[in-house]
């Protein structure tokens, strides 16, 4: 129990606080904890790096199992201690869908918050622009209005029955989008073929159409509905589908606690991989011309390179062919599209042999092959933006 758990944490960190709240809710008081100082750079100490090669807090261990991503640690604790303390995942499908949706939207909220709060810390002096900070503040203002609206609306009423099948599902999607591809892979793995789907064009800005906005006020794809429940966050949709259709299709969450912990850890690290990939690929699209700096491009490329080396290492040490061991899991459902995206944009196969082997090993898995983005089939060579990474 708790005496086998160790948490290294820093005061004022929302990710650390999440894990501490989960431990309390599950009546896991008495765990070993050590408060470290961000100001003294203790999160970069050897003690932390031995457990978390990213040099970040929280760093959490349960016996020999390490789960450093805060969302992953919270899911792991609820899964392993279901019958202890307070139940943290509702039984009602409608409430569960909303829980997953708000959780993953919370990551977007946090990202936009720190882009304002830590702007001066993140951005080197020579790259700071008042216009960029103003834009970050406006984006955060828009985000806060969304959350005000969410809290104003009543909670879902009648529960959605999970025996309503694919015919009650609708997916609006865009070709080439890893988030859309994740949801499509999950639907295939759970034998939920026959859902209603509509392919929209990013180039024609169809993701900003009233049809999408009525389901997803962010104007993003995927937009996914099951009955009256809306899940637009791709990770949320994948976890919801596995939860509601556990006994159907392929099981996507391992029973083994070690593999399950690794699955959650790799899933949430996958979000960091996606973010660093996007920082390189979409730099010119995201950053106005007058705010662009070669030094920022170079830093983004170095950050992505360091991230890819981490993943090469993970795959080298892997105990099986998949990201969480010997079975295909939600880690593969969510992260494989991001890895495929790297190669579509020219990542060197010679430079990253383990990532290449993993990418090629799953290409012909039916759920992946069937849903491969049609635009990639038309242009299999892709682009070469990442060839020098």
Q: Is 91-244 the same fold as 2-80?
A: yes
pLDDT at 42 over 90: yes
Model confidence at 273: pLDDT above 60: yes
How far are the Cα atoms of 269, 281, 324, 343 from residue 333, in angstroms, in the given order? 13, 22, 11, 17
CATH class of 257-378: mainly alpha
Tell me: pLDDT of 161 over 50. no
User: Which pLDDT band, with edges at 50, 70 and 90, does 163 fall under?
Assistant: very low
Record the pTM.
0.94
* Long-range contacts of the stretch 41-45 (C-beta < 8 A, 24+): 42/10, 43/10
Q: Which architecture, in CATH terms, is 91-244?
A: 3-Layer(aba) Sandwich (3.40)
Averaged pLDDT of the chain? 94
> What's the confidence (pLDDT) of residue 160?
45
* In the chain, where the domains are located: 2-80, 91-244, 257-378
**pLDDT tens per residue, range 102-134:** 999 999 999 999 999 999 999 999 999 999 999
- The average pLDDT across 189-212 equals 96
Contact indicator for 183, 174 with CB cutoff of 8 Å: no
Q: What is the pLDDT of residue 166?
A: 86
Give the least confident one: 7-16, 158-167, 273-282, 367-376. 158-167
Q: For domain 2-80, which architecture applies?
A: 3-Layer(aba) Sandwich (3.40)
- Terminal Cα-to-Cα distance of the chain (whole angstroms): 44
Task: Please answer whether residues 98 and 125 qualify as being in contact, where contact means their C-beta atoms are separated by less than 8 angstroms.
Answer: no
């Amino acid at each position: 129990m708790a005496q086998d758990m160790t948490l290294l944490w820093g005061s004022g960190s929302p990710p650390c606080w999440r894990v501490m709240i989960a431990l309390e809710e599950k009546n896991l008081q008495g765990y070993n904890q050590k408060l470290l100082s961000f100001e003294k750079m203790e999160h970069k100490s050897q003690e932390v790096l031995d457990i978390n090669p990213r040099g970040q807090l929280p760093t959490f261990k349960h016996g020999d199992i390490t789960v450093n991503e805060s969302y992953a640690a919270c899911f792991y604790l609820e899964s392993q201690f279901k019958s202890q303390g307070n139940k943290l995942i509702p039984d009602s499908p409608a409430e569960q869908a909303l829980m997953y949706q708000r959780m993953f939207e919370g990551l977007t909220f946090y990202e936009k918050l720190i882009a304002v709060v830590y702007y001066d810390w993140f951005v080197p002096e020579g790259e700071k622009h008042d216009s960029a900070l103003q834009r970050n503040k406006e984006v955060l203002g828009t985000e806060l209005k969304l959350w005000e609206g969410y809290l104003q609306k009543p909670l879902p009423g009648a529960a959605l029955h999970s025996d309503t099948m694919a015919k009650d599902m609708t997916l609006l999607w865009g070709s080439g989008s890893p988030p859309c591809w994740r949801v499509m892979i999950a639907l295939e793995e759970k034998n939920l073929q026959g859902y209603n789907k509509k392919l929209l064009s990013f180039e024609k800005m169809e993701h900003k159409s009233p049809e999408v906005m009525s389901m997803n006020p962010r104007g993003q794809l995927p937009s996914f509905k099951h009955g009256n429940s809306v899940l637009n966050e791709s990770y949320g949709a994948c976890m919801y589908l596995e939860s509601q259709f556990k006994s159907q299709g392929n099981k996507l969450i391992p029973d083994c606690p070690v593999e399950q912990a690794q699955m959650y850890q790799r899933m949430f690290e996958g979000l960091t991989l996606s973010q660093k990939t996007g920082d390189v690929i979409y730099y010119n699209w995201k950053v106005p011309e007058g705010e662009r700096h070669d030094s920022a491009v170079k830093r983004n490329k170095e950050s992505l390179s360091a991230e890819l080396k981490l993943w090469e290492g993970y795959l080298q040490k892997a105990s099986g062919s998949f990201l969480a061991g010997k079975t295909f899991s939600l880690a593969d459902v969510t992260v494989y599209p991001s890895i495929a995206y790297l190669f579509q944009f020219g990542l060197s196969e010679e430079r990253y042999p383990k990532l290449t082997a993993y990418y090629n090993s799953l290409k012909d898995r039916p759920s992946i092959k069937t849903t491969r983005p049609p635009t990639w089939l038309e242009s299999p060579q892709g682009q070469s933006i990442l060839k020098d990474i």
